[in-house]
Structure 1
């Protein structure tokens, strides 16, 4: 496949795996007609592996991670499942990495492959879309990179991303409060000098 090209999907269950010479985090976002998720539950990844008709599958070891779409179970208001990938190592870009998405039918048969061209400083990538058009399902090659990582993709599609709080500078140590002085017994005396 080339960027923007699509194929019809006749299988009810399709798997999109994304392989590369480095470990990738693969995820899926279920989008409505407005291009947004309904809630954070529509963001499917290793910490939230199941959603409405969509499942994250860990490749484990040398096998690539994948998003599995059961088109018969995807809710009617979901028009598109976006499959994303990002290098697992913090701060790593796609420079010199050629990820390949493989779309497979239920029997494992390869329906299409796609290697996004000319990647560089991107830290995350929308690889493939599985989408519904006039009641039929298709897969489209995308290859759109993001320089602001998976959080940038997720935010663009309406997922609430909680940023790690910045480490606050330690507050200066306050000087210990002086201990209250012991009452001076002389204070109770009234002395008058005239």
Structure 2
């Protein structure tokens, strides 16, 4: 088992690897399948809790006290995909990684043997993180420790790698009903006295 440092890489001795990301707090872990230009081909290449499977990559939610896992079956990854980046973001709104040390454990998905671990150092105001990447090198696969932080959460990472992130729709104001014009008074009936004609004629003595 190798303890990795930022930028270090290691050949993978297993065709199916699982990357567990754990921390003292709840994390949302995801995997993005990237082409040579560093972008996803479509939103289907974004694997996370709401879309737990993609070509050769699956997401498994952690049990109580455990972290989420991204599993990569390198034999099933499409030829056009060069790397799978494993990311982590904080589940609590407004929380940062200051004082929180996530750890990635890379292990064989078949026998569970641990191949490497990586704990990114010196985290601060970041709210999301590219933890490690599993990538092709010729006909082989390797893992690299990254530890790159983002200040704008998982949406910032997803957008950076070409995922379309839908913004919440703005609330639509209820239409205001047009004000109805006041109903004009009905014209007096021909021959009917006007309002001023209901009383006694001007100058008439008051009735006794």
Once the two structures are TM-superposed, the CA of residue 98 in structure 1 deviates from its matched residue by 0.3
State how many pairs are aligned: 186
Note the aligned Cα RMSD (angstroms). 2.1
Once the two structures are TM-superposed, the CA of residue 66 in structure 1 deviates from its matched residue by 0.7
CA distance in 1: counterparts of 2:83 and 2:186, whole angstroms: 77
Equivalent position to 1:62, from 65, 68, 90 = 65
CA distance in 1: counterparts of 2:55 and 2:98, whole angstroms: 34
Other-structure match for 1:88? 91
Equivalent position to 2:135, from 121, 131, 134 = 131
Tell me whether 1:115 sits opposite 2:106 in the alignment. Answer: no
Other-structure match for 1:22? 25
Q: What TM-score do you get using the length of structure 2 for normalisation?
A: 0.83
CA distance in 1: counterparts of 2:146 and 2:33, whole angstroms: 16
Other-structure match for 1:35? 38
Once the two structures are TM-superposed, the CA of residue 91 in structure 1 deviates from its matched residue by 1.4
Tell me whether 1:74 sits opposite 2:71 in the alignment. Answer: no
Q: 1:28 to 1:186 in 2, by over 3 A?
A: farther
Secondary structure of the residue aligned to 1:41 is helix
Structure 1 residues without counterparts, runs of 5 or longer = 188-194
Equivalent position to 1:142, from 123, 140, 146 = 146
Give 1 or 2 for the bigger CA radius of gyration.
Answer: 2
Structure 2 residues without counterparts, runs of 5 or longer = 191-208
